[in-house]
């Protein structure tokens, strides 16, 4: 597609539930990144994929968070047993081969845990 697409744009879930957030990167972009942005803060790195594999998952806050990219394009961020502190905007970005200059961000998924 022309840009990075994220769905849903908004998600409200109850504490303890499981959620999946989807990212469809720009066609041909091999690198995909997930970030989380809380109110009043800059985006915080979660995980980076190069192709199908997670090249760096050091930003995932705990084992409730998991992400996959099985075919090297679409990625899904999965959060188990959601907590109110997980409420944030989850941003996805893609680029060509991890090129720092060529990032394109999606418009994000706003997750609210009630």
Partner 1 sequence: RKEVEQDPGPFNVPEGATVAFNCTYSNSASQSFFWYRQDCRKEPKLLMSVYSSGNEDGRFTAQLNRASQYISLLIRDSKLSDSATYLCVVTRSYNTDKLIFGTGTRLQVFP
Under rule CB under 8 A, residue 103 binds partner 1: yes
- Name residues contacting partner 1, limited to 48-67 (CB under 8 A): 48, 55-56, 59
How far apart are CB 108 and partner 1 at their closest, in Å?
A: 6
CA distance 33 to 69: 11
Rounded-to-integer distance, Cα 50 and Cα 54, Å: 6
**Could you tell me the two tokens for 86?**
């997980």
Minimum distance from residue 95 beta carbon to partner 1 (Å): 9
Rg over alpha carbons for the chain, rounded to the nearest Å, is 13
Closer by beta carbon to partner 1, 66 or else 103: 103
């Amino acid at each position: 597609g022309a840009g990075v697409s994220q769905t849903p744009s908004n998600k409200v879930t109850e504490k303890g539930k499981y959620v999946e957030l989807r990212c469809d990167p720009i066609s041909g972009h091999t690198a995909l990144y997930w970030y989380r942005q809380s109110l009043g803060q800059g985006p915080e790195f979660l995980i980076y994929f190069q192709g199908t594999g997670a090249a760096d998952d050091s930003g995932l806050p705990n084992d409730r968070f998991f992400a996959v990219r099985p075919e090297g394009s679409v990625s899904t961020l999965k959060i188990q047993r959601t907590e109110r502190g997980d409420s944030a905007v989850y941003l996805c970005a893609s680029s060509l081969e991890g090129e720092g200059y060529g990032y394109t961000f999606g418009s994000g998924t706003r997750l609210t845990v009630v």
